Amino acid sequence: MRYVIRVLLVTPEVRRAAPSAVERAKIELDRALGASKLLVGEAGASYRADDSDVLGPSPDVVVLASSAEDVQKTLAIAERHEVPVTPRAAGTGRTGGAVPAAGGIVLATHALAQVKDIDRVDMLAVVQPGVVTGALHAMCEKEGLFYPPDPNSLDMCMIGGNVAENAGGPRAFKYGVTREYVLGLGVCLMGGHALHVGRRTVKGVTGYDMTALFVGSEGTLGVFTEVTLRLVPKPPQIATILALFTDVHACGAAVTRVLGRGIRPRCLELLDAKTLEAIRGQVSIDPRAGAMLLCEVDGEALEDETERLGEALSQGEGVVDVLVAQDAAQRARLWAGRRALSTATRKLARHKISEDVVVPRSKISELLRRVDRIGEENATRHLTYGHAGDGNLHVNFLWDDDSERPKIDRSLELLMRATIELGGTLSGEHGIGVTKAEYLPLEQSSELIELQRSIKKVFDPKDLLNPGKIFPAKGHKAC
Ligand SMILES: Cc1cc2nc3c(=O)[nH]c(=O)nc-3n(C[C@H](O)[C@H](O)[C@H](O)COP(=O)(O)OP(=O)(O)OC[C@H]3O[C@@H](n4cnc5c(N)ncnc54)[C@H](O)[C@@H]3O)c2cc1C
């Protein structure tokens, strides 16, 4: 059984609802939705956490919404009684986005799980937010269509959470992230106002791009009740190549060679030496290897592309081996190893924090060098894997003893600072949530943060929808 030790979330700036207001809201929710859609007390305890290391207060009530009307009614009642609401899908988020920082209502949308339409002519899907991403992949592929975004949590995470976090995944290098596929949204605002933003057409420039604003808004602007997604034709063929290197710097150089030759694999996943150690039990790996690239190409001219990729990978220093997967079963085994990385590396220590910083691709090697230096200077254990094609690296810090936490925090801050110095960004896919809010001022000016706070006020003047997320606490040292 997986055992995660979590830190109790402290957000004194987040206002909790008055107990009497909560009681009135609960009575109204019970009347409007029925007791079977509400969880209270211990029954709602598992909704305090997501896949980050923070634990929020117990929600006063969890609403198990099963229709857009349930969402609407909940947001109307919550605003009337000024009770905070935290939207939630599968709870696989890595930055505490679905953790109820203010207690109040957790609005669970996992039961809105209908695929309403898969349209082969217009190449789009209309789905509810609780549809599991991997299940949507399978349904689209049966129709000869393809929904590219593939977070490694795809067997659990849901489209609503993916849209709220603007999720990416290994295939983002070629196909882009969730934002590129969201055409339109059914959204319910705080107070219960239902809206439809966006369209069903591929082109469309009417008014402000409100869909783009909602994508990546981390549950702070509105609650999605329906998502219209653009699909593309299913690629006819796929080839998977595994390249092994003596060390991560030889691996970084191979990434530069591949990109420099204009080759665009759909995935280019990097694993460093310590990450390889964690999966050696599952996948047999040459003992000389100190780093690995898992690459995938798809499309029509597959043989040519595979050959060009193989050449680019092999023609450099520090190459141990380059192997092409021979069949679907081998491909599946390699990807199972990659998708299990997060869980496998978690077993290496009592605590693990996985960051998702992004640097320009040309700076990957420099970031890896800086991470090594941060580790040495602060005596912190670390490992790195990630989406090298996008420069999006999961730098993980590991520790066993609680007394090590201050040096982990120092290492995290140094990582964030190094990322920004190299022209990068704090998050490529996990969002800011609560765990990274304090670092936001390292990347964004106070004017920009204030502008975003003003936008939030337009949608949610009383700051009731997912409070305590994205923005640093007022008066924070970095503000
Ligand atoms: C093993 C593992 C691997 C992962 N790999 C990746 C990866 O490759 N790429 C990647 O991008 N992420 C990855 N993640 C992180 C996570 O899976 C994604 O952030 C995912 O998009 C979260 O989806 P969810 O359904 O779990 O959302 P939740 O965690 O439930 O919620 C995430 C956010 O969405 C908001 N939200 C949820 N539902 C709604 C709604 N209906 N309307 C409005 N807001 C809503 C919540 O308030 C919260 O802020 C990984 C996580 C794990 C555990």
User: Tens of pLDDT along 30-58?
Assistant: 999 999 999 999 999 999 999 998 999 99
pTM equals 0.95
CA–CA distance, 89 with 462 (Å, rounded to integer): 23
Residue 381 sits at φ, ψ, to 5 deg, of -85, 140
CA–CA distance, 75 with 110 (Å, rounded to integer): 17
Residue 222 CA: nearest ligand 1 atom is: 43
Q: Which of 94, 133, 279 most suits a substitution to test ligand 1, by most atoms within 8 Å of the C-beta?
A: 94
User: Tens of pLDDT along 185-197?
Assistant: 999 999 999 999 9
Whether the predicted pLDDT of 476 surpasses 70: no
Whether the predicted pLDDT of 478 surpasses 50: no
Strand 61-64 versus strand 105-108 pairing type: parallel
Half-sphere exposure of 232 (CA within 13 A, CB side): 12
Residue 342 CA: nearest ligand 1 atom is: 1
Residue 158 CA: nearest ligand 1 atom is: 25
- Percent of the chain's residues with pLDDT above 70: 98
Q: Residue length, the chain?
A: 479
User: Tens of pLDDT along 406-454?
Assistant: 999 999 999 999 999 999 999 999 999 999 999 999 999 999 999 999 9
User: Tens of pLDDT along 76-122?
Assistant: 999 999 999 999 999 999 999 999 999 999 999 999 999 999 999 99
Tell me what the pLDDT averaged over the chain comes to: 93
Burial of 299 per CB tally in 10 Å (0-12, 13-18, 19+) = middle
Q: Is 97 in the pocket of ligand 1 (CB under 6 A)?
A: yes
Judged by phi (left if over 0) then psi (alpha if -120 to 50, else beta), residue 113 lies in alpha
Q: Is 52 in the pocket of ligand 1 (CB under 6 A)?
A: no
Would you give the distance in Å from CA 46 to the centre of its chain? 20
Q: Is 378 in the pocket of ligand 1 (CB under 6 A)?
A: no
> Would you state the structure tokens that stand for residue 150, as one six-digit string?
């593939």
Q: Is 218 in the pocket of ligand 1 (CB under 6 A)?
A: yes
Matching residue, tokens 């970031």: 367
> What is the average per-residue pLDDT within 202-226?
97
Distance 162 CA to ligand 1 centre (A): 5
Whether the predicted pLDDT of 2 surpasses 80: no
Q: Is 162 in the pocket of ligand 1 (CB under 6 A)?
A: yes
Distance 475 CA to ligand 1 centre (A): 29
Dihedral over Cα of 308, 310, 314, 316: its sign: positive
DSSP letter at 235 equals P
Q: Is 224 in the pocket of ligand 1 (CB under 6 A)?
A: yes
Whether the predicted pLDDT of 5 surpasses 70: no
Whether the predicted pLDDT of 1 surpasses 90: no
Which amino acid would we find at residue 189?
Answer: L
> Would you state the structure tokens that stand for residue 158, as one six-digit string?
């849901």
Helix (H, G, I), strand (E, B) or coil at 356: coil
Q: Which of 6, 152, 215 most suits a substitution to test ligand 1, by most atoms within 8 Å of the C-beta?
A: 152
Burial of 340 per CB tally in 10 Å (0-12, 13-18, 19+) = middle
Strand 381-387 versus strand 7-8 pairing type: unpaired
Q: Which of 62, 72, 88 most suits a substitution to test ligand 1, by most atoms within 8 Å of the C-beta?
A: 88
CA–CA distance, 295 with 243 (Å, rounded to integer): 8
CA–CA distance, 448 with 441 (Å, rounded to integer): 9
Dihedral over Cα of 211, 213, 219, 222: its sign: negative
* Selection from 173, 180, 175, 176 nearest residue 390 by Cα: 173
Q: Which of 153, 357, 471 most suits a substitution to test ligand 1, by most atoms within 8 Å of the C-beta?
A: 153
- Residue 332 has a CB neighbour count (10 Å cut-off) of 12
Rg of the chain in Å (alpha carbons): 23
